[in-house]
Amino acid sequence: MADPHHNEFPPGSLEARDLEHLLHPATNFKLHHEKGPTVHARAEGVYMWDNRGKQYIEGMAGLWCTALGYGEPELARVAAEQMQTLSYSQLFSGKTNEPSILLAEKLKQMMPFEAGRVFFGLSGSDANDTQVKLMWYYHNAIGKPEKKKIISRKRGYHGVTVASGSLTGLPAFHKHFDLPIAGILHTDCPSYYREGLSGETETDFVDRIVKNLADLIQAEGPETIAAFIAEPIMGAGGVVVPPAGYFQKVQAELKKHDILFIDDEVICGFGRTGTLFGAQSMGIEPTTMSVAKAVSSAYLPLSAVIIPEFIYEPFIEVTADVGTFGHGFTYSGHPVCAAVALRNLELMEERDLYAHAARVGERFQERLRSFADHPLVGEVRGAGLIGAIELVADKATKAPFAPSAGVGMHCQAQCENQGLIIRNLGDTIAFCPPLIITDKQVDEVFSKFEVALNETLEWIR
């Protein structure tokens, strides 16, 4: 039995009560009981304070999501006004509400493809779970019941529900959960740094892994594969930026076999990569799209799946036969969430935040890449206001540290000591600040990181 009281926290403190009552997501429970939680107390702009008064600069936009920063009064006003006007409404059985209609219209206008319909949920996980179900539903509706498999990628992250967790290509999200489920396939991660062979150029690497994809499609049977899903830039898998030409060659292969492209923009969407969507940064032509996180800047939970009209059209007759479209959530199209998300997107445009993020992203990438020569750094990668620094034991051979050494975790702890919030993904340090960050605040992020990185080097020595 875990003992929540064998640390220094006094009985009755928030820390002690957390250790007694909460089941934390994505947490090492043994370490959590040894070290205890950090209690976030308040936040404003790009800064956060814990319950002991310590200030941190936000280098991760929460969980890749607080694009507009913290404490925006206009979003609080909209939420309160909508709660007083219509605190809840549903979309089941043809019911609707104005915020959902307006947000759906807004999202369709923003899409980099011919969008038809918008389905609302609450998280990136449920959006990608919905994507899987829609692919199955669509292919049944058009008389291709054998065309059901979904190809994802190793190290991709698409959520944690049963279907989206299966799409995720990270072992920790599968082990002991009996995932992935049948019908979910995984192809190569497009990390040239980690997966490229000795003497292989980036072009050769892309050709090889796209051939592996083509071979997988043939081995499984093209007639059995419905869709391919990808993040434009991988997030939780280590901020992996594919080499030039990768997505163009992948898409050429998919088109040969009428395999649809699900674009997971949960992290990359709404200005993160220097363009409105990651698809535009990476040359992707989506069939469908999943969005969440920055769509509401995480002020309230909301996700959306956007599909073209040709996918929606065969649903009409099928639902007439069955009597209903048997999918949806109690909170699909929640009017308060939708109103806040809509105003969030409007504020981003009114404040020219996408152009600001692209401009500040240049400074961000410049400071990020200044660490390339550091003795601990193997690779630096990113685009716009997302980036990562991979720590290695040997720069020349790319040899990683043993996972048990906990180097990335130590570096994260040192960053927190300096008052910087980042996230270690193993020994890769991820950065994803709010889009409102300034050049001066970018310098603050990386000045604090430099101190933490040098301390980590001394600790290793």
Distance CA 217, CA 187 (A): 10
- All CATH 3.40.640.10 domain ranges in the chain, comma separated: 74-350
Distance CA 260, CA 137 (A): 14
pLDDT at residue 1 tops 50: no
At 110-166, the pLDDT tens digits run 999 999 999 999 999 999 999 999 999 999 999 999 999 999 999 999 999 999 999
The mean per-residue pLDDT over the stretch 454-461 comes to: 96
Q: Provide the percentage of residues in the chain whose pLDDT is more than 90.
A: 98
Distance CA 306, CA 291 (A): 8
At 259-285, the pLDDT tens digits run 999 999 999 999 999 999 999 999 999
Distance CA 345, CA 108 (A): 13
Distance CA 287, CA 387 (A): 27
At 58-117, the pLDDT tens digits run 999 999 999 999 999 999 999 999 999 999 999 999 999 999 999 999 999 999 999 999
Angstrom CA distances, 116 to 305, 322, 355, 384, 416, stand at 11, 22, 27, 29, 44
pTM of the model: 0.96
CB 272 within 8 A of CB 384: yes
- 174's tokens: 């599968």
Class of domain 74-350: alpha beta
Residue 353, helix vs strand vs coil: helix
Query: Sorting pLDDT into bands at 50, 70 and 90, what band is 6?
Result: low
Name the CATH superfamily for 38-71+353-460. Answer: Aspartate Aminotransferase, domain 1 (3.90.1150.10)
Distance CA 73, CA 76 (A): 5
pLDDT at residue 5 tops 50: no
Distance CA 198, CA 388 (A): 23
Question: What is residue 3's predicted lDDT score, i.e. its pLDDT?
Answer: 52
Distance CA 87, CA 224 (A): 44
Query: Sorting pLDDT into bands at 50, 70 and 90, what band is 8?
Result: confident
Full DSSP string of 260-329: EEEEE-TTTTTTTTSSSSHHHHHT---SEEEE-GGGTTTSS--EEEEE-HHHHHHHHHHHHHHSS-----
At 26-51, the pLDDT tens digits run 999 999 999 999 999 999 999 999 99
- All CATH 3.90.1150.10 domain ranges in the chain, comma separated: 38-71+353-460
Distance CA 134, CA 315 (A): 10
CB 427 within 8 A of CB 238: no
Distance CA 412, CA 31 (A): 14
Measured over the CA atoms of residue 360, residue 365, residue 370 and residue 376, the dihedral's sign is positive
Residues sharing a CB contact under 8 Å with residue 77, sequence separation 6 or more, in sequence order: none
